[in-house]
Structure 1
Amino acid sequence: MSTIGSGKGMSEKDLLMPPVYDGDILDGYTPHYRQTRKLILLMRVAVPTGHYDEAVALARKLKVYALGNDASAQTYEIVDVKGNPAPLPMLTWEMSMDYWRQFHSVIDHEIAQPRHRFMAGLPNLGGIPKGQAFEPDARMETILTDAAMTGWAIMNVNLFANGHPESLTWPDRNWEFILLIGPLNPETERFRNSQLLGLGLE
């Protein structure tokens, strides 16, 4: 989209398509096919002067609205949070049973994708089945709470204290891959080596 999209930032109209849609596309729109029901839009704004207020004003020129409505009927609002802490509700539940309740709601709501069928089936082993109520007993709650805390700890080590050289994008810089596995290309030797390191098989 924008300057790197088909419209090169010149009044481009992008159309966000629902999953498994195979109908006609209206003329004048650039379609973007998503694979999930929910979608997060990220916008990076840059202005020549570098002034914050100009960037906010430019961001407010973006229009997001349902197809068939006028552009004035946009469904979002740019909120200027300068000087205020950004709310991150996830931080309040990422190490507790609330994490698994959120996880279950995503599994229940979203479409199961064939390429993720193996990983999508794993939650069933933990009593988090798609299409069924999530009602863990006391034993399972203890297991899941411990798992959430362990996963949080592993994630922080991988992100902030990763000692494996494969985590570096370039050997002479400090730009790191977020994930331990590095580039997501299983055909590369670097990918296979990082997998072995992650499993402790070096």
Structure 2
Amino acid sequence: MQNPTKQAQILPTTGTIDTPIGPLTFEGGYPTSESVAKLYDQLDFQRAVQTYLWAIPLVSFACWQEAQETVFGQEDGDLVLITSFRDRLGVLTCNATTPYLMGFLNLQRTGPLVIDYPKGMTAGGILDFWQRPITDLGLTGPDQGAGGKYLVIAPGQEVPQGAEGYRVVHSPTNNLFHALRVLATDPQEAEALSASYQAYSYADRENPRKTRIIPAADKPWSGWPANVLEYWRLLAKMLNEEPVHERDRMMVAMLKSLGIEKGKPFQPDARQQKILEQGAIVGEAMARSLTYAKRQPEAYTWPGTNWANMIQLEANQETEHYTALDERTAWFYEAVTLSAGMTTKTPGMGQQYMSTKKDKVGNWLQGGNHYTLNVPPNVPVKQFWAMTLYDTETRCFIDNPHEIAGLDSRMDLITNADGSVDLYFGPTAPTGKEKNWIPTVPGRGWFALFRFYAPTEPYFDRTWSLPDIEKII
């Protein structure tokens, strides 16, 4: 029996309709076989794009972990020491001066893990594999520089008997990132503090394996998947190693039709492989748009300029009503790790990151051009400021024979009479201004990151600002 009330129809009962994915044909209300195939392909393609964006922080860490294990021979509890320009070419938007001591581990392999943290001038931390901070260590952590033993517990693990005296930390993921930064300026003290850091299985506490500090030694490596299918292989690997959190269940459901399912090997058929490849290409292009052309008006801190605050989310990646998906995608596509110190709004604490991808007239920054930036006097920082350039495609240092990636206020820069500093960017140095120059490479785009270390009130109340980068020739 027909419904006597005629409803407005979007799709034809019989016939063809043009849509953004091409024509769709119906017969008696049913989509034809050809249209069904097209719709399923489009459904899975859209799911591939969206899950690509969702998984960026997880896959980024998974790729980095695999590189440290295969390139540097890092085992659970070890730290890799990254110091030189060449060492840093694999790290997304790292700074140009601070030595890094960083490692990855898997709590299902180690069982409950002890981190015996040294007393002294250090800052460290533990992040889960969605790059959310679990706890700080050292001066900014619960020990406040006094050191002590932390006991890290994975999902499903019990706190062992006899664990009194440990600071117990529960991790929402099995895989972890842990890092140490030595703040002591005396080289011998710094070396002693680094050597004192120990991470080992609680079960081996009576005779623990010694944590190794492994120099990166200029070995070439990359912290980003080498090809599109590698991205999905790493995601499938992580899905099998990690619990599925409630907030992610719908996204994990989208992966099933793409050949990625918890508890099963990653073996996409030819159709799925093609869709995954296409989804990764479009997904990364969307990630670049979210990163390099932010559409949140609040990101542009100084009205009338192209400088944007790189971090548009809190350390836990949540807002009152939703997970900060676009903001998370933008940050973790061009960077790694996030902490409370990087998001604090307290003057004189932490860091702030401003980035620009365009010059004063709104054109993308290109490596074959010459540019200048006037850094006004009295930069609002208690510690120092730093300017670093990165390659648009790799999001790492611009690989150049001069091995120069950045400049900072602690260097012997040429200063103007009013206290301002003119910086220069281009494939060749301006005569007499070599101290203030950062090289670029023709044919490759680049972007700039200006770091404020311990920013003061004029940064937050916007009474101080950076002008745009200007093209010279």
TM-score interval (norm. to shorter): 0.7 to 0.9
Over 3 Å counting, the alpha-carbon distance change for 1:164 and 1:142 in structure 2 is same
Q: Where does residue 406 of structure 2 map in the other structure?
A: none
Asked whether the 8 Å contact 2:259–2:269 carries over to 1, the reply is no
Tell me whether 1:175 sits opposite 2:314 in the alignment.
Answer: no
Task: Choose the corresponding residue for 1:60, options 162, 173, 195.
Answer: 195
Structure 1: segments with no counterpart, 5+ residues:
195-202
Structure 2 counterpart of 1:33, from 170, 178, 183: 170
Q: Does the 8 A contact of 1:127 with 1:134 survive in 2?
A: yes
Distance (whole Å) between structure 2 residues aligned to residue 80 and residue 157 of structure 1: 35
The answer to whether the 8 A contact 2:138-2:144 is kept is yes
Moved over 6 A (4+): none
The 3-state SS of whatever aligns with 1:58 is helix
Instruction: Trace 1:12-161 onto structure 2 (pairs within 5 A).
Output: 12-23=148-159, 26-48=163-185, 55-70=190-205, 73-74=208-209, 76-81=211-216, 84=218, 87-88=221-222, 90-93=224-227, 96-161=228-293
Report the 3-state secondary structure (helix = DSSP H, G, I; strand = E; otherwise coil) of the residue aligned with 2:239.
helix
- Please give the per-residue CA displacement for 1:83-118, whole angstroms capped at 9, x wherever unaligned: x2562253413xx21221111111122112223222
**Aligned residue among 168, 176, 185 for 2:319:** 185
**Of Structure 1 and Structure 2, which has the larger fraction of its residues in helix?**
1
Q: Say whether the 8 Å CA contact 1:64–1:71 is kept in structure 2.
A: no
Secondary structure of the corresponding residue to residue 40 of structure 1: strand
Measure, in 1, the Cα distance between the counterparts of 2:191 and 2:312: 28
Local SS of the residue matching 1:15: strand
Residue identity opposite 2:211 in structure 1: Y
- What is the percent sequence identity of the aligned residues? 23
Change (3 A) 1:30 1:113: same
CA distance in 1, matches of 2:292, 2:210: 37
User: 3-state SS of the aligned residue for 1:128?
Assistant: coil
Instruction: Give the gaps of 5 or more residues in structure 2.
Output: 1-136, 328-473
Find the residue that maps to 2:215 and give its secondary structure. Answer: coil
Change (3 A) 1:68 1:134: closer
1:161 Cα deviation from its structure 2 partner: 3.4
TM-score scaled by length of structure 1: 0.73
Which structure has the higher relative contact order (CA within 8 Å, separation 6+)? 2
The answer to which of 60-69 and 27-36 deviates more is 60-69
> Which of 152-161 and 137-146 deviates more?
152-161
Q: Is the 8 A contact 2:199 2:211 kept in 1?
A: yes
Distance 1:19 1:45 in 2: 30
Q: Is the 8 A contact 2:154 2:172 kept in 1?
A: yes
Contact 2:154–2:174 (Cα < 8 Å) also in 1? yes
Q: Contact 1:158 / 1:178 at 8 angstroms: preserved in 2? A: no
Structure 1 residues 145-173: Cα deviation after superposition (integer angstroms, max 9, x where no partner): 011111222222322332532335x4576
Could you state the TM-score of these two structures normalised by the residue count of structure 2?
Answer: 0.34
Shift of 1:130: 1.2
Q: SS state of the match for residue 4, structure 1? A: coil
Q: CA deviation at 1:43?
A: 2.4
**Contact 2:173–2:243 (CA<8 Å) still a contact in 1?**
yes
Q: Residues of 1 paired with 2:235 and 2:170: CA distance?
A: 24
More strand by share: 2
RMSD: 3.1
**Are the aligned partners of 2:197 and 2:211 in contact in 1 as well (CA < 8 Å)?**
no
* CA separation of 1:48 and 1:75: change in aligned 2, threshold 3 A: closer
Deviation of the 1:126 alpha carbon? 1.8
Contact 1:47 1:55 in 2 (8 A): yes
Greater Rg over alpha carbons, structure: 2
The residue type paired with residue 122 of structure 1 is M
Pair 1:11 & 2:147 matched: yes
